[in-house]
C-alpha cells in the first residue's frame, strides 16, 4: 500500500473514532416553563433508586452538581411534594434494560418532546455508554417534560475529583438549555463537545 493510500485510510479511521457530540435537549412545547421556580430530586428510598444501581459517591456528585447549578440560576430546592418539577438522571451503561426501566419510570415519550432548538430537528440522538441522561419531570403526571443527554467521558484512570469536574461540566452544559422564569426565558443554542467514545447503534 502506498503512503498516500495509507494516509487516507488512517485519516478515515481517526475520523470514525472521533464522535462530535452536542448537548441536545428535547422539550414539551405546551408546558409553561415560566412558572418553574423550584425543583427537587427523587428521594433515595423511592423507586427511582431501583432503576439503576449507582454508588452513593456518584449519586452525590450528580445531585450536588445539580443543586449548585440550579441554585446559581435562581431556582429553589424544595421537598419533592412541594417542588414544581423533579429532576431525574441516568448514567447509560451497556445494560439497556436499566435504561428501558428508567424511561418507563419517568414516562419518557420521544414523540411528546420536540427539539428545543429547530436547528436540532434533523439530528439523531445517539445514546452511548458513559453518557448522562437528565430529565425534568412534571410531578403532577410523573412524566418527563424536558430531556438532555451528554457524554461524561469518564475514564478508568480518573480519580474522584476528575469525575466530579466532568459531571459538573456536563450538567452545566445541559442545564444551560433548560428554560425557566428565573433562569432562561429563551432557549439557548446547543453547545458542542468532542468525544472519543465509540458509537453504538442505539437511538432515542
Domain ranges of the chain: 19-195
36 DSSP 8-state letter: -
Higher pLDDT, 153 or 71: 71
Rounded CA gap, 156 and 159, in Å? 8
CATH for the stretch 19-195: 3.30.160
pLDDT in tens, 11-31: 333 333 333 356 788 999 999
CA 37 to mean position of chain CA atoms: 20
CA separation, residue 180 to residues 9, 11, 83, 84, 186 (Å): 48, 44, 14, 11, 8
User: Taking the model in full, what pTM does it have?
Assistant: 0.76
93 DSSP 8-state letter: -
For the chain, the first-to-last Cα distance in angstroms comes to 41
Sign of the C-alpha dihedral computed for residues 183, 106, 67 and 120 taken in this order = negative
Label residue 153 left, alpha or beta by phi (over 0 means left) and psi (-120 to 50 means alpha): left
Helix H segments across 26-179?
A: 56-72, 96-105, 160-175
Rounded CA gap, 47 and 175, in Å? 24
pLDDT in tens, 162-202: 888 999 999 999 998 898 665 443 333 333 343 333 333 23
Amino acid at each position: 500500500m502506498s503512503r498516500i493510500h495509507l494516509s487516507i485510510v488512517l485519516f478515515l479511521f481517526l475520523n470514525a473514532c472521533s464522535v462530535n457530540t452536542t448537548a441536545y435537549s428535547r422539550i414539551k412545547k405546551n408546558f409553561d416553563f415560566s412558572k418553574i421556580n423550584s425543583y427537587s430530586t427523587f428521594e433515595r428510598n423511592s423507586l427511582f433508586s431501583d432503576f439503576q444501581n449507582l454508588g452513593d459517591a456518584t449519586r452525590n456528585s450528580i445531585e450536588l452538581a445539580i443543586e449548585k447549578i440550579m441554585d446559581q440560576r435562581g431556582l429553589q430546592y424544595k421537598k419533592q411534594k412541594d417542588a414544581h418539577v423533579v429532576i431525574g438522571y441516568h448514567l447509560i451503561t451497556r445494560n439497556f434494560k436499566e435504561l428501558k426501566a428508567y424511561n418507563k419510570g419517568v414516562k419518557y415519550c420521544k414523540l411528546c418532546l420536540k427539539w428545543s432548538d429547530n436547528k436540532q430537528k434533523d439530528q439523531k440522538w445517539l445514546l452511548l455508554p458513559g453518557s448522562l441522561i437528565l430529565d425534568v419531570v412534571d410531578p403532577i403526571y410523573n412524566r418527563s417534560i424536558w430531556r438532555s443527554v451528554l457524554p461524561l467521558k469518564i475514564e478508568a484512570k480518573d480519580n474522584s475529583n476528575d469525575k466530579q469536574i466532568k459531571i459538573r461540566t456536563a450538567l452545566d452544559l445541559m442545564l444551560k438549555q433548560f428554560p425557566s422564569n428565573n433562569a432562561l426565558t429563551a432557549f439557548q443554542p446547543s453547545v458542542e463537545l468532542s468525544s472519543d467514545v465509540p458509537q453504538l447503534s442505539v437511538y432515542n
